Amino acid sequence: MNDLIEIRWHGRGGQGAKTASLLLADAAFNTGKYIQGFPEYGPERMGAPITAYNRISSSPITIHSNIYEPDYVVVVDDTLLESVNVTAGLKKEGAIIINTTKDGEYLKNALKNYEGSIYAIDARKVSMEALGQYFPNTPMLAAIVKVSGIMSDEDFLADMIGSFKHKFAKKPEVIEGNMKALELALQEVKKVN
Amino acid sequence: MGIRERLSGNEAAAIAMKQINPDVVAAFPITPSTEIPQYFSSFVSNGAVDTEFVAVESEHSAMSACIGAEAAGARAMTATSSNGLSLMWEMIYIASSLRLPIVMSLVNRAVSGPLNIHNDHSDAMGVRDSGWIQLFSESNQEAYDNLLMAHRIAEHKDVQLPLMVCQDGFITSHSIENIELLEDDKVKEFVGTYKPEHYLLNRKEPIAIGPLDLQGYLFEHKKAQAEAMRNAKKVIAEVSADFEKMTGRHYGFFEEYKMDDSEIVIVCMNSTAGTAKYAADRLREQGIKAGVLKVRMFRPFPVDEIAKALQGQKAVAVLDKADSVNGAGGALFEDVTSAMFVNGVTVPTVNYIYGIGGRDVPASDIETVYKDLVEVAKAGKAENPFRYLGIREK
């Protein structure tokens, strides 16, 4: 239980935070871990703030509750920084990863009490470049893998191609773009504080 | 040696149903169990099962169709939640009174109103006296395993009662977790074929099922039903032992977690038991001898066994995820304390109503219960046995 990693996702309905949490669970499962991936279901509608969670451990996980003291927080939409206390309970040894174009100074101020590491990535740029469309969850998935070090980049990419082949069995044309988004995001995510 | 997978609780239930391959499934979708008939209907259309899938127009009809199928001599299954079970109410009693071993996957959700789609146990508690066997499941794995054992228990000649396998809506039904599946052929062999003794489609024995049953007979029939429920205990133990031989996974009437040397114990059901184990481990790091008693078999209720397990504890808390709104305690609390009383076991015991309507149950809440129990143990008595956990005071 000592190596338990807890991750909380903040996004808006329709951005794929839930899907990203399930894909992360999948990828960690394939490296032999015990995993949980679950969203917090509320009144689901496009654009409303939503939360999803991951637990990853090398021993069985029995706890069944939401996550209140995460090791990592992923923010899929930086407009949430104004309305949701995204760093609530976040461990200071941990990190927050934000999809944003804002600079480090702004983020530091927006997360005023947070003492841990802040990472940023422009997931829109990555997604537009790789897919020609804005799907922020794929870049954010790569970003959390990179920052948390749950698995190596190589293992992650090798595993995700299998997941995408399964997930996009009916539209294989998007697999290449999604893989490119992951590769770009692994490079693009940067520590800003 | 099993298949390592990761599935949600609903996926696990649907796959169990696929491997069981029943003759008939009749269901009407309702959150949070919707995915079970949804996945199952895709197994039907893909030819993975040869089940007759009846897409009925209501839950009342779903249970009616299961009753018709089972009475005809077929093996029937369904899945539902909350108000879906409420709408089945009339037929739930008829299924058990006619001694039809229908198997249901019940994904527990608060019964309206006001409208709430999230987890508590008010649906299952509402039918606790209806004559159905009720097995509760902490995880996707237990929901799967309990379903694989269900038909062997329900259809046994000394039982012949319907059975529902409960799991927590969303908390396990929609959470992806590790699971170990069995190979299809192993499940098929374990579950076996259904050979009813009396059934409507037997041309050699024309019978009527469910006719008028007045003052002269109903009482005896009800006693026979109660006797069958008592018999279920022995059968559940036998089938669980066989299951353990095949899988290595042990299932008792209840699970005793760290109760070898425990002084304070929390009694609860379904997913909360996992969180309670986590909390008990944390308290043991502080030298507090905490244990968990997780009830798997709620109907029939293991009266003597639970009383014996709790004997010698210094304090006990029973957690009910449904309020009986009776000016007294929740259903599990009343059953546990009654079991202790008739067995002469005297331990200070308190009741907490918790987790209503999907209120999250963090480990920190469970830890406060253990801390309360330390005080109860010290005092040797509980001033106020009827308590709430995790409720806002303002």
The label of the residue with tokens 């590491």 reads A117
Domain at B254-389: CATH architecture: 3-Layer(aba) Sandwich (3.40)
Q: Is residue A81's pLDDT more than 70?
A: yes
Residue A25 contacts B, CB cutoff 8 Å: yes
pLDDT for B205: 97
Q: Nearest CB to B176: which of A1, A22, A65? A: A22
The percent of residues in chain A predicted with pLDDT above 90, rounded, is 87
Distance of CA A108 to the CA centre of its chain: 20
Query: Considering only CB atoms, which chain A residues are within 8 Å of B272?
Result: 64
Calpha distance B123→A86 (Å, rounded) = 35
Instruction: Report the pLDDT averaged over residues A121-129.
Output: 97
Instruction: Report the pLDDT averaged over residues A106-134.
Output: 95
Cα Rg for chain B, rounded, in angstroms?
A: 21
* Structure confidence by residue, pLDDT tens digits, B239-265: 999 999 999 999 999 999 999 999 999
Query: Considering only CB atoms, which chain B residues are within 8 Å of A18?
Result: none
Residue B271 contacts A, CB cutoff 8 Å: yes
Ordered by where they begin, the domains of chain A are 5-191 (3.40.920.10)
Residue A170 contacts B, CB cutoff 8 Å: no
Query: Considering only CB atoms, which chain B residues are within 8 Å of A29?
Result: 6, 178
pLDDT for A44: 67
Confidence of residue A2 (pLDDT cuts 50, 70, 90): low
Confidence of residue B187 (pLDDT cuts 50, 70, 90): very high
What lies within 8 Å, CB to CB, of B117 at 6+ separation is A41, B31, B32, B82, B109, B110, B169, B358
Calpha distance B140→B12 (Å, rounded) = 6
Decide: helix, strand or coil at residue A140. Answer: helix
Supply A72's token pair. 């990592």
CB B77 within 8 A of CB B17: yes
Domain boundaries, chain B: 3-247, 254-389
* Structure confidence by residue, pLDDT tens digits, A12-24: 998 999 999 999 9
* Structure confidence by residue, pLDDT tens digits, B76-106: 999 999 999 999 999 999 999 999 999 999 9
User: Which of A36, A62, A159 should we substitute to test contact with B (largest number of B Cβ atoms within 10 Å)?
Assistant: A62
Instruction: Report the pLDDT averaged over residues B334-342.
Output: 98
Q: Is residue B302's pLDDT more than 60?
A: yes
Query: Considering only CB atoms, which chain B residues are within 8 Å of A31?
Result: none
H or E stretch at B378: helix B363-379
CB–CB contact A29 B364 (8 Å): no
Topology agreement, domain B3-247 and domain B254-389: yes
Instruction: Report the pLDDT averaged over residues B154-180.
Output: 98
Q: Nearest CB to A29: which of B6, B139, B174? A: B6
Q: Is residue B152's pLDDT more than 50?
A: yes
Q: Is residue B369's pLDDT more than 50?
A: yes
Q: Nearest CB to B177: which of A36, A65, A66? A: A36
CB–CB contact A64 B274 (8 Å): yes
pTM to 2 decimals? 0.97
Instruction: Output the CA–CA distances (angstroms, integers) from residue A110 to A7, A84, A105, A142, A188, in the order listed.
Output: 20, 11, 9, 24, 22
* Structure confidence by residue, pLDDT tens digits, A133-186: 999 999 999 999 999 999 999 999 999 998 899 889 899 999 999 999 999 999
Q: What angle do CA B238, B345, B315 make, to 5 degrees?
A: 100
List the one residue out of B11, B246, B189, B199 whose CA is nearest residue B101.
B199
Q: Is residue A1's pLDDT more than 60?
A: no
Calpha distance B280→B290 (Å, rounded) = 5
H or E stretch at B276: helix B272-285
Confidence of residue A113 (pLDDT cuts 50, 70, 90): confident
Classify domain B3-247 at the CATH topology level: Rossmann fold (3.40.50)
SS3 content of chain A, % helix, strand, coil (to 5): 40, 20, 40
Query: Considering only CB atoms, which chain A residues are within 8 Å of B118?
Result: 41
Supply A106's token pair. 């702004």
